[in-house]
Structure 1
Amino acid sequence: MLLIVGTVRLPAANLERALPAMRAMVEASRAEAGCLEYGYAQDVLEPGLIHVKELWSDQAALDAHFASSHIQAWRAAWPALEIGDRALRVYDVGAPRST
């Protein structure tokens, strides 16, 4: 499994305009084969800081995600929404365990 975690930033004033594009991206990604989890969450202390968490079954699923039309549309929206400062990392992970 592949875990992607990190953050992206946008001006807090642009968050309301970004929500429909973010929702479309999350919904389309969650419907993809091999997507086990996909979500965005706004930081409670820093407006405009969005936490990203994705879990993919394997590299082939992630590659298909990166080639999808919805990720291309999402990335095309970034300049107008002033989305930047991407800090995402991919980790190879094993099976989850209870804490």
Structure 2
Amino acid sequence: MLLIVGTVRLPPANLEKARPAMRAMVSASRAEDGCVEYAYAEDVLDRGLIHVKEIWRDQAALDRHFASDHIAVWRASWPALGIGDRDLHAYEVEKKPRAT
């Protein structure tokens, strides 16, 4: 599995305007085959800082995500929303059974 974690930043004044675009991106991504988890979360201490967490089944699923129409729409919205300062990192992880 692939874990993507990091942050994106946008001007705090644009948060309300960005919410529909972020909601659409999260919903469409969660519906993709191979998406295990996909979430954005606003930092409670740093307004305009959005934490990103994604888990993908494999590289092929992530590649399809990068080629999706909804990610193209999301990326096209960045200039108008002032989204910048992206800091995302990918890690290969394995799921281990829970200890009982």
TM-score by length of 2: 0.96
4+ runs deviating over 4 angstroms: 96-99
- Equivalence for 2:58: 58
Whole-Å Cα distance in 1 between the matches of residues 87 and 96 of structure 2?
24
TM-score by length of 1: 0.97
- Equivalence for 2:70: 70
Q: Kindly tell me the number of residue pairs found equivalent between the two proteins.
A: 99
Q: After superposition, give the CA deviation of every residue in 1:29-87 in whole Å (9 maximum; x if it has no partner).
A: 00000000000000000000000000000000000000000000000000000000000
Percentage of identical aligned residues? 72
Unaligned runs of 5+ in 1: none
- Equivalence for 1:46: 46
Unaligned runs of 5+ in 2: none
User: Which SS does the other structure have where 1:7 is aligned?
Assistant: strand
- Equivalence for 2:94: 94
Whole-Å Cα distance in 1 between the matches of residues 25 and 91 of structure 2?
21
Judged with a 3 Å threshold, the aligned counterparts in structure 2 of structure 1 residues 85 and 66 are, in CA distance, closer, same or farther, namely: same
Q: What residue identity is the alignment partner of 1:64?
A: R
